[in-house]
């Protein structure tokens, strides 16, 4: 695509150039690499870098069936902006219905075990299918996001899914992410402007209150150290 960008300040240009170089290295090492996007700010930044450089990294998303309308709408936003049709992975409907029948539509509020079971059906299993046969995947995780991600590596072997995992934004700050997004006019989920720095399923996400950390709105009824859904289970194992 290689869109002509407006002049960038030196710090922003350096961040952007380093990210492009990192993604080029990853795609050269792993021509079959894939990127799981939730359409959050970090993921839109990575998607923009992938599309702008015409990299062979395949971008997909997980539609749990319970995403906010604003998140689902980002599929069309990407299609219109970049001319790319994002692959959408969905959970097994029979598994979803079985879980709901056994535990209720909102059973995940009752215990961490039931919440993780819901995440496993709606997110982890579709992700496992999407990653099958690939040698590497990328995420938009950052160390600054939460305690469970404080020791996040730039690159690591993902023993849960059995492939290499890259976190190109691991060392980035929230300020740096948004400086690049705004400088390059990258589209983003409008919920970010309403107090949602981290956006998941609608029943499991709320806006932040003053003084809360960036992921406090995710699974807001749980304790901090439980706040991973299974997509990045290694974070909990390391913490």
Read off the pLDDT of residues 191-202 as tens digits, 9 standing for 90 and up.
999 999 999 999
- Of residues 232 and 196, which shows the higher confidence score? 196
210, 225, 231 from 221: Cα distances, Å:
17, 12, 20
Mean pLDDT, residues 178-199 taken together: 95
Q: How far apart are CA 145 and CA 111, in angstroms?
A: 24
Which residue positions form the known binding site for [4Fe-4S] cluster?
118-119, 201, 204
Give the catalytic positions in this structure. Answer: 229
Q: In this structure, what DSSP letter does residue 214 have?
A: T
In order of their start, the domains of the chain are 10-92+130-218 (3.40.50.620)
Q: Does pLDDT of 221 surpass 60?
A: yes
d(CA 84, CA 152): 30
Helix ranges (DSSP H) in 53-183:
69-82, 93-103, 112-119, 125-131, 174-183
Task: Tell me the pLDDT tens digit for each residue of 90-131.
Answer: 999 999 999 999 999 999 999 999 999 999 999 999 999 999
Residue 156: in which H helix or E strand, if any?
strand 155-158
Cα separation, 37 vs 30, in Å, equals 18
Residues annotated as binding site?
118-119, 201, 204
pTM here is 0.88
Distances (CA, A) of 28 to 24, 25, 55, 136, 145: 6, 5, 9, 11, 28
Share above pLDDT 90 across residues of the chain, in percent, rounded to a whole number:
77
């Amino acid at each position: 695509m290689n869109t002509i960008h407006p002049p960038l300040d030196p710090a922003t240009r350096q961040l952007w150039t380093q990210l492009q170089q990192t993604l080029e290295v990853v795609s050269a090492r792993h021509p079959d690499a894939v990127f799981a996007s939730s359409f959050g700010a970090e993921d839109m930044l990575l998607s923009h870098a992938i599309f702008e450089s015409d990299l062979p990294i395949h971008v997909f998303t997980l539609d749990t069936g319970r995403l906010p309308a604003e998140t689902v709408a980002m599929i069309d936003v990407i299609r219109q902006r970049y001319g790319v049709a994002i692959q959408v992975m969905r959970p097994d409907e029979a598994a979803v219905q079985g879980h709901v029948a056994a535990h209720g539509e909102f059973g995940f509020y009752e215990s961490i075990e039931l919440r993780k079971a819901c995440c496993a059906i709606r997110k982890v299993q579709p992700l496992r299918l999407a990653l099958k046969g690939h040698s590497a995947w990328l995420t938009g995780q950052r160390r600054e996001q939460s305690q469970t991600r404080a020791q996040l590596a730039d690159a690591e072997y993902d023993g849960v899914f059995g492939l290499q995992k890259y976190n190109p934004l691991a060392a980035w700050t929230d300020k740096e992410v948004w400086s690049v997004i705004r400088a390059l006019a990258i589209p983003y989920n409008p919920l970010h402007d309403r107090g949602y720095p981290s956006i998941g399923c609608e029943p499991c996400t709320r806006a932040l209150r003053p003084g809360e950390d960036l992921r406090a709105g995710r699974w807001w009824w749980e304790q901090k150290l439980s706040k991973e859904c299974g997509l990045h289970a290694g974070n909990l194992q390391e913490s």
